[in-house]
Every structure is written in structure tokens, then in C-alpha cells.
Copies of this chain bind each other. A is one copy, B any other.
Amino acid sequence: MTRTVANGASNTAARIRDAARFLFARDGYAAVSMRQLAAEVGVQAGALYLHIPDKQSLLFDLLHENMESLLVAWDAEPRGEGPVGRLESFVRFHIRTHLDCPESVFLSNMELRNLTPENFRVIAGLRDQYEAELVAILQDGSAADKMRVPDANLAAKAVLAMLTGVSGWYRDGGRLSRERVERIYWNMVRRAVGA
């Protein structure tokens, strides 16, 4: 029979990453000690170093995985027709994925400053790639006279800030359903860019 889970080693590695994602998101990278992290995983501090080279690599790997999977997921996302359709797809995709893993999103937004300069450049590059997707949509929409954006770069930043903010307050089971949140945000974005 085939195994559906990995062996003990990589399982612990995965648990370390999960615990780190949770703790870093809640308390901040700098505020979480390796001892705390080990306790959360249920091992001793020294055992962590069998699975990760150091704390910085752990943060980098988490952020790197976040951005890569975001880009891959967007690449696989079905797009609407025309610039406006693609914009709606982007807005709904962004909100949906950000509500699906709020911890990862929070990490990616808060912990960039704790990356070493080299690691920062890598992650920032991936972020720029993602942002460029939105910029392209806005430029296409503008060129086709389907949107009114005097500055696509500025508009992209404004839209992304607005959308990303949703993971800061949305709670499942709250007053608003996800579909309703997606729809309201989409309406705001649509009007904001004059579509």
C-alpha cells in the first residue's frame, strides 16, 4: 500500500512550520523564542535544528512558500472575460485566498522587515510579481476605456491595501458571509476604478 503521509522526520518538520506560522503570526517573529516554538511542537529546543538550519531560514521558507503558492494559485485561477472580468476574478481570488489562510497573509505582511537583506529581496520580488498582475489588468482596462485609472501603479497599491485589510477583521461565522464580503468589496473596487 502507498503511504499518504510522510515519514516521522518530515512530519516533525511540517509540525515545526505549522507551529512557527501560528506563533510568528500571533506574537511576531522577533518575540517568539526557539524554546517557545519547541514547546508548541512538543520537542526540546535542540531538536528543532535537526529540521531547520536556523530561525531566519524558517521565516524565509514560510514567506517564500506563501508567495509561491499565491502566484501558482492565481496562475491556475479561471479568469473572467475582458479586463473587468479579470479584475473581478483577481478581487475575489485575493479575498478568498487571504481568508483561507489569514495567518500566512498576516506573516507575509508583517514580517518582511525581519528578513535578511538577501532574503528580503527574494520575497519582495515575488510580491512585485503579484502586484504586477493587478497593474497589468488595470492598464489593459484603462487602454480599452473600460476603466478610469489615472495611475495604474497607484491604483493597484490602493486596491491591494484595501483587499488585504479584510483578513485583519473578518472572522468566519461573523455577521457577514464570505460571498457577501467578496461582493461588497468587488463593488467598491469596481466603482473605485471606474469600471
Name which residue of chain B comes closest to A162, CB basis.
Answer: B162
Interface residues of A in 142-195 (CB under 8 A from B): 150-151, 154-155, 157-162, 164-166, 168-169, 176, 181, 184-185, 187-189, 191-194
Most-contacted residue by chain B among A154, A168, A185 (CB, 10 A):
A154
Residues of B within 8 A of A102 (CB): none
A114, B28: Cβ atoms closer than 8 Å: yes
Residues of B within 8 A of A168 (CB): 157, 161
A188, B181: Cβ atoms closer than 8 Å: no
Residues of B within 8 A of A191 (CB): 191-192, 194
Number of interface residues of A (CB under 8 A): 34
- Shortest CB-to-CB span from A151 to chain B, Å, is 6
A184, B114: Cβ atoms closer than 8 Å: no
Q: How many copies does the complex hold?
A: 2
A47 interface residue (CB < 8 Å to B):
no
- Shortest CB-to-CB span from A80 to chain B, Å, is 20
**Residues of chain A at the chain B interface (Cβ within 8 Å):** 26-28, 30-31, 110, 113-114, 150-151, 154-155, 157-162, 164-166, 168-169, 176, 181, 184-185, 187-189, 191-194
With contact pairs A113-B27, A188-B193, A193-B188 given, residues A176 and B161 touching in the complex (Cβ less than 8 Å): no
Name which residue of chain B comes closest to A110, CB basis.
Answer: B110
Residues of B within 8 A of A27 (CB): 113
Name which residue of chain B comes closest to A187, CB basis.
Answer: B150
- Shortest CB-to-CB span from A76 to chain B, Å, is 27
Residues of B within 8 A of A181 (CB): 154
Residues of B within 8 A of A26 (CB): 113
Complexed CA–CA distance, A185 and B159 (Å): 11
Name which residue of chain B comes closest to A157, CB basis.
Answer: B169
